Amino acid sequence: MAKKTEENQRRAPPLNLQSMTEAIDAELDSNAPDPAYLARMAERRESLRAEVARLLPPRGHFVWEIGCGHGHFLTAYAETHPEEHCVGIDINLDRVRRATKKRDRAGLHRLHFVRAEARLFLEVLPPAAGFSAIYMLFPDPWPKKRHHKYRLLQAEFLHDIAQRAGQGTPLFFRTDHAPYFTEAEMLLRQHPDWRSVGDQPWPFELATVFQQKAPSFQSLVAVRR
């Protein structure tokens, strides 16, 4: 079994958003996806499920930051809201490690950083867990048209996160990429699960790494219907 796992790891492409989307596309096109990749995905799903179950209370709500980078925003948020459970996720392991060091230095026991792809994280959440607020700060804009399918904010993703959000749960979105902002605005205006409330003041602010570099940015808030 250990030998098989090693072989899978050697042959399979890296687990990232692009390779995952390509595997799903291949499945839809009826080209058999790489079995080694699928085996690695299944292993990853189960280890993530166990990690999340260990970190989070099985029921109750938490603040979720998607693509937390180095964890500046959520660490500062958790410092001022120590009673709340907070989880930041990112696919970049190095960023998650650095975020976790910040959290450990601050001694914030209800804050966790997890290396995870957003859709996989949703899949493995305990059935009774949900979001009290969702933050997406400077998500990758994938500017080329042929890469738009890799953008996280899509109608289906909005539907999936809405299943874990109670009525009134806010979604905070911010980007420095104007075309992505326009698309997000349109998606949220038309989406049956979310009501866009425009550019409202946010309950908490801290300039992230990407915000500090951005010459300008736009924000919007939507709430679960």
Ligand X SMILES: C[S@@+](CC[C@H](N)C(=O)[O-])C[C@H]1O[C@@H](n2cnc3c(N)ncnc32)[C@H](O)[C@@H]1O
Tell me: does residue 140 bind ligand X (CB under 6 A).
yes
Tell me: does residue 96 bind ligand X (CB under 6 A).
no
Strand order across the 60-66 sheet: 111-115, 86-90, 60-66, 129-137, 170-175, 218-224, 194-198
Tell me: does residue 23 bind ligand X (CB under 6 A).
no
Tell me: does residue 67 bind ligand X (CB under 6 A).
yes
Tell me: does residue 206 bind ligand X (CB under 6 A).
no
Tell me: does residue 161 bind ligand X (CB under 6 A).
no
Structure tokens at 140: 């990758």
In the list 117, 124, 130, 169, the residue contacting ligand X (rule: CB under 6 A) is: 117
Which residue number, 67 or 130, has a Cβ lying nearer to ligand X?
67
In the list 110, 134, 210, 221, the residue contacting ligand X (rule: CB under 6 A) is: 210
Tell me: does residue 137 bind ligand X (CB under 6 A).
yes
Q: Please tell me the distance from the alpha carbon of residue 106 to that of residue 156, in angstroms, as a whole number.
A: 36
Q: Are strands 60-66 and 129-137 parallel, antiparallel or unpaired?
A: parallel
Q: How many CA atoms lie within 13 A of 50 on its CB side?
A: 5
Which residue number, 84 or 140, has a Cβ lying nearer to ligand X?
140
Tell me: does residue 211 bind ligand X (CB under 6 A).
yes
In the list 17, 78, 87, 184, the residue contacting ligand X (rule: CB under 6 A) is: 17
Contacts for 113 with CB less than 8 Å, ≥ 6 apart: 68, 71, 74, 87, 88, 89, 90, 96, 99, 100, 103
Q: Please tell me the distance from the alpha carbon of residue 170 to that of residue 183, in angstroms, as a whole number.
A: 18
Which residue number, 140 or 185, has a Cβ lying nearer to ligand X?
140
CB of 58 closer than 8 Å to CB of 129: yes
Tell me: does residue 133 bind ligand X (CB under 6 A).
no
Least distance from ligand X to the Cβ atom of residue 167, Å: 26
User: Which residues are annotated as catalytic?
Assistant: 140
Q: Please tell me the distance from the alpha carbon of residue 11 to that of residue 196, in angstroms, as a whole number.
A: 44
Cα-based distances in Å from 96 to 15, 59, 70, 113, 116 = 16, 24, 6, 6, 9
Contacts for 84 with CB less than 8 Å, ≥ 6 apart: 62, 63, 78, 110, 132
Tell me: does residue 34 bind ligand X (CB under 6 A).
no
Could you tell me how many residues of this chain bind ligand X (CB under 6 A)?
A: 21
Least distance from ligand X to the Cβ atom of residue 153, Å: 11
Tell me: does residue 118 bind ligand X (CB under 6 A).
yes
By beta carbon distance, the residue nearest ligand X is 67
Report the interface residues with ligand X, using CB under 6 A.
17, 66-69, 89-92, 95, 117-118, 137-140, 152, 208-211
